Amino acid sequence: MLYYIFQYLDKAFDVPGAGVFQYITFRSALAFILSLLIATIYGKKIINYLRNQQVGETVRELGLEGQTAKAGTPTMGGIIIILATLIPVLLLAKLNNIYIILLIVTTIWMGVIGFIDDYIKIFKKDKQGLKGIFKVIGQVGLGLIVGTVLYFSPDVTVRKDTLTSRVKIENNIKPADLEEKSTATTIPFLKNNEFDYAEVLSFMGDDYKDYAWLIFIPMVILIITAVSNGANLTDGIDGLAAGTSAISVLTLGLFTFVSGNIIFSDYLNIMYIPNSGEMTVYIAAFVGALVGFLWYNAYPASVFMGDTGSLTIGGIIAVIAIAIRKELMIPVVCGIFLAENLSVIIQVSYFKYTKKKFGEGRRIFLMSPLHHHYQKKGYHESRIVTRFWIVGILLAIFSLVSLKLR
């Protein structure tokens, strides 16, 4: 909204300073500050409201020290993250940008699913919350929307060309001529690091690319479902999900900025994605919201994000990664989410296998997800969270190194 107002003032009245809103870096910085202020200042009021409404966490007895003491702590704190993200975005981003529209839809869509889940747990006194099948249907629905838009929208293009400006001028090549619809993605740490999902269907004949959506859209659905569930599993102890998510999102923000900037993408020899740089404004607001939420979610937590927050976070991270063609980097960028997911899969699979073979279920971890394993070993929450953050930072650095290390 403010972007369009200042754009009008700059063009119609040449108001001094109004032109600064044209710069993504300025609007991103402003979005971060504004979201941080909203989360910290108004977050307290939201927490008090949730407490007054008795929207408290019902803690399942896990045999962990201090777990029972958390009963009654306000949950649904993901509302803080959602509001602190959307308000700056609506004020500062280009709202006609296809990527911004997708991220707003993702935020609201996943936020509603998470809210329904938390509502059932709290007010219907059902600890299971929204049935798993309905969560999956919601995630698949979002995947269908995102995948369909990214595949069919004419506003979503890529430019894999790395020709220098001099060569383009000499050959009279216009930038728009190099943009194309594509289902190509980036394979990290490889020199020729582009893979087109359509190639999987090359056996279908010359027109195989017309059916690329058969591979691309299911991949989008799979990624959104996996990452949102990974974030959901990571939300188990104070500050863990918010902190690790902020690190992952900030990393993706740097990828987004260079992918949406023709100069940096040309220098780094990576895929240029027109108009994707605008997502940097959204990402800055999102990081500010996560950091502001962490102010109240750090140990001992005054509020939990609940599924309202965790499912939303996972959905947003997945959509950003897919949009900038870095979804294959998710196992590294979101390595904590992956570890938490795998720990549950391994634990459940091994338990079922040993129960069938030996008549009694055995476990690899003391408890899953992984952070509970370390709690069982006697580590304090703060130590577990800090060390997971450190691992997250190392993974983020390793991810960024992929821009040059191939």
Binding-site residue numbers for Mg(2+) are 232, 307
Question: What residue numbers does the annotated binding site cover?
Answer: 232, 307
Q: 148 burial class (0-12, 13-18, 19+ CB within 10 angstroms)? A: middle
CB distance 369 to 344 below 8 Å: yes
d(CA 275, CA 25): 14
**168 class by beta-carbon count within 10 Å (0-12 exposed, 13-18 middle, 19+ buried):** middle
Q: How many CB atoms lie within 10 A of CB 41?
A: 11
Q: Are 46 and 74 in contact (CB under 8 A)?
A: no
The Cα–Cα gap between 348 and 127 comes to 20
Tokens matching residue 392 = 């997250």
- How far does CA 204 lie from the centroid of its chain? 34
> How far apart, in whole angstroms, are the C-alpha atoms of residue 285 and residue 171?
41
User: How far is Cα 168 from Cα 344, in angstroms, rounded to an integer?
Assistant: 52
Tokens found for residue 150: 């990214």
Bridge partners, 74 (sequence order): 56
Reference 241, options 50, 400, 145, 381; nearest CA is 381
Q: Please report the DSSP string for 193-249 in residue order.
A: -EEEGGGGGGGG-TTGGGGTHHHHHHHHHHHHHHHHHHHHHHTTSTTHHHHHHHHHH
DSSP one-letter string for 284-322:
HHHHHHHHHHHHHHSSSPS---HHHHHHHHHHHHHHHHH
Q: Specify the DSSP element, H or E, that contains 195.
A: strand 194-196
The whole-angstrom separation of Cα 220 and Cα 188 is 18
Three-state helix/strand/coil letters over 351-374: HHHHHHHHCCCCCCCCCCCHHHHH
- Residue 250 has a CB neighbour count (10 Å cut-off) of 18
The amino acid at 38: I
